[in-house]
Amino acid sequence: MKSLTIGKVAGQAGVGIETIRFYEHRELIEPPPRSAAGYRQYPENTVQRLRFIRRAKELGFSLKEIKELLTLQSNPKTTCADIKQRAEMKLADIHQRIHDLEKMGSALETLVTACSADATSAECPILQALAEE
């Protein structure tokens, strides 16, 4: 099996070298064996794993959730329903965050509309709203 340097793995996976080291530390990827000179020698499948992690992050999964998905992926008893359940939970979380962001945007829009550029900071409705308990 061919081995790759950390730079080659980073380039092929589309991540930074520090990201790879971070993922090793977080146990998302296996620490690779080292050459006699001390260089990391990654197996080729590390690139696929890093791409998996990158895509999962792009979909909003946390590193903890990604680690769970990777564990499920390596378990032959895992069903698609197991993975679907986690994806549905993530989707519900994303929808909730969108709802919360819309509420925040609406509240901030109301404050911005109420703000008069000629008013002093003591009269500013934005600052007054932030100071309220």
Cα Rg, the chain, nearest whole Å: 23
Q: What is the pLDDT of residue 1?
A: 64
- Our count of domains for the chain comes to 2
pLDDT digits (tens, 9 = 90+) for 90-119: 999 999 999 999 999 999 999 999 888 788
pLDDT at 35 over 70: yes
Torsion 25-29-35-36 (CA) sign = positive
The string of DSSP letters for 71-133 reads HHHH-TT--HHHHHHHHHHHHHHHHHHHHHHHHHHHHHHHHHHH--TTS-GGG-HHHHHHH--
- Shared domain for 43 and 87, answered yes or no, is no
pLDDT value for 73: 94
Give pLDDT, residue 119.
Answer: 80
Clarify whether residues 93 and 74 are in a common domain. Answer: no
Owning domain of residue 68: 1-78
Helix (H, G, I), strand (E, B) or coil at 59: coil
Q: Report d(CA 125, CA 15) in Å as an integer.
A: 44
Output the domain CATH number for residue 33: 1.10.1660.10
Give the residue from 102, 105, 128, 131 showing the smallest Cα distance to 115. Answer: 128
Tell me the pLDDT tens digit for each residue of 47-93. Answer: 999 999 999 999 999 999 999 999 999 999 999 999 999 999 999 99
User: For position 117, what pLDDT does the model report?
Assistant: 78
Task: Let me know whether 23 and 54 are in one domain.
Answer: yes
State the average pLDDT over residues 127-131. 90
Model pTM greater than 0.85? no
